[in-house]
Structure 1
Amino acid sequence: MSAINYRKDYIPKTTACNRRPGYAMSATTITIHNTGNVASSAANERAWLTNPTNARQASFHIVVDEREAIECIPLTENAWHSGDGSAAKSGNRTSIGVEICESGNYAKTLDNAAVLVASMLKERGWGVDRLRRHYDWSGKICPRLMYDSGKWTGWTAFKALVEAKLNPIKQEVNDMIVYKANVVVNGCKAKDGVLIDGAVYVPLREMSDQFGAAIAWDNVTKTATITKEAK
């Protein structure tokens, strides 16, 4: 999993509109958003949080674009990003808010976001079932670029991308083309094998039993030994 440029630039606790209230948080999910601004970078979004002309209470933990990710509020504190109030079990109090920028190379931004989120899930021992949309908390159509007229195909695709980053080996296995292979020994049809990347794999124990051979496995040397007594 490739790394992305990640930096911390926390907004002060004295930031206007109580955007960093400092409530302790032990996150149980990660919530994904789009910024809703097609011309704004991660640095711009960080600057917006402390812009004196900004009159909104809304805030977030991390923002990511095609170049970098910026952590704006510690992940052990809450942010106001879910739109569902301040109750103890609200998204605002239990979820890490990740804003995905809409400017520039959006495909690259999505890939960066997937790398970032996958690393966060891995660090916590979580799977993609821990991912949430802003929509899941308050019904707001966000992340809006994943909405697709209510089909949420972009959301499904993003979770699949995160899963591929989180479990690359599993993804590679899932993508393999596997063919059935017929195996014949001394003119006798044996158990079916499978053909993967030009090599035939067979169920060794079943084949050994079929031909009256004994099989032993040495777990230390990882060696399978087949013995067939001479008649």
Structure 2
Amino acid sequence: MAATTITIHNTGNPSSNAAGERSWLTNPSNDRQASFHIVVDSKEAVECIPLDENAWHAGDGSGAKSGNRTSIGIEICESGDYAKTLDNAAELVASMLKARGWGVDRLRRHFDWSGKICPRLMYDSGKWTGWTAFKNMVDYKLKTGGKTVKKDDKVEVLVNGKKVADGVLDDGVTYTPVRAVAEALGASVMYDAGTKTVSIVAKK
């Protein structure tokens, strides 16, 4: 496989770790035709299949342009310290993008290939706020050479005295999810993926 994208998944198993997910692939009782390239938890990332071989993770068949034939599948575990797991996954993905000269536009959800609600913990009732936050985290690490955000770099974002999100302070500028702030102010937020435009509409 000559990959052109990286696809992100959640394992759908709240009690497994990376080693357990890897073991499941070769468990004699596992009769599913499904697989993935890398699985990440709060402690490690395990490569299960060479990145130049196909894995059956996208759910969209075997066409030449399918996710199964063109994309590296990364499973994010749901157990343990999920925030740390996400940070590990973002660091891994950022390093993979950098090595290939790619940007976050090369990232895909399982959902993008087959409509399955996955990565499910990023779904947020169809708003996909977790997905946007993950891409922003990857983009931040990509632009800062994979630097992990220091505790002192994190700031609380308050709207009318109520915490709505965590932000990151970078060179005097605070970065935070625009949706969290806008919706806390009673506005609606729409994102156009085609034009990469965020529209904020205040309620009258």
| TM range, smaller chain | 0.7 to 0.9
Aligned equivalent of 2:83: 107
1:175 shift after superposition: 3.6
Task: After TM superposition, list the pairs within 5 Å mapping 1:159-198 onto structure 2.
Answer: 159-168=135-144, 175-177=170-172
CA shift digits 1:11-35 (9 cap, x unpaired): xxxxxxxxxxxxxx00000000000
> For residue 130 of structure 1, what is the aligned residue in structure 2?
106
Secondary structure at the aligned position of 1:73 is classed as: coil
> Cα offset for 1:57?
0.3
Q: CA deviation at 1:78?
A: 0.5
Distance in 2 between the 1:89 and 1:52 partners? Answer: 31
Is residue 44 of structure 2 the alignment partner of residue 68 of structure 1?
yes
Identity of aligned residues (%): 80
Report how many aligned residue pairs link the two structures: 152
Distance in 2, Cα, partners of 1:72 & 1:153: 29
Separation in 1, partners of 2:132, 2:113: 17
2:96 equivalent to 1:120: yes
Q: Quick one: which of 34, 37, 41 aligns to 2:17?
A: 41
* Equivalent position amino acid for 1:163 in 2: D
Distance across 2 between alignment mates of 1:68 and 1:110: 11
- Higher-Rg member (1/2): 1
In the alignment, is residue 91 of structure 1 matched against residue 86 of structure 2? no
In 2, distance between residues paired with 1:156 and 1:137? 17
1:154 aligns with 2:149: no
Which amino acid counterpart does residue 31 of structure 2 have in structure 1? A
Q: Please say if 1:54 is aligned against 2:49.
A: no
CA–CA distance in 2 between the matches of 1:33 and 1:45?
A: 13
State the shift of 1:44 in Å: 0.2
Give the AA of the match of 2:110.
H
Give the gaps of 5 or more residues in structure 1: 1-24, 179-231
2:63 aligned partner, one-letter code? A
Question: Matches of 2:172 and 2:80 in 1, distance apart?
Answer: 36
2:49 paired with 1:81: no
Report the 3-state secondary structure (helix = DSSP H, G, I; strand = E; otherwise coil) of the residue aligned with 1:137. helix
Deviation above 3 Å: which 4+ runs of structure 1? 174-178
Corresponding residue for 1:140?
A: 116
TM-score (norm 1): 0.64
| RMSD between aligned residues | 1.6
State how far apart, in whole Å, the 2-side matches of 1:177 and 1:89 are.
43
In 1, the alpha carbon distance for the partners of 2:171 and 2:22 equals: 42
The residue matched to 1:142 in structure 2 has which SS? coil
| Ranges in structure 2 where 5+ consecutive residues have no aligned partner | 148-152, 154-168, 174-204
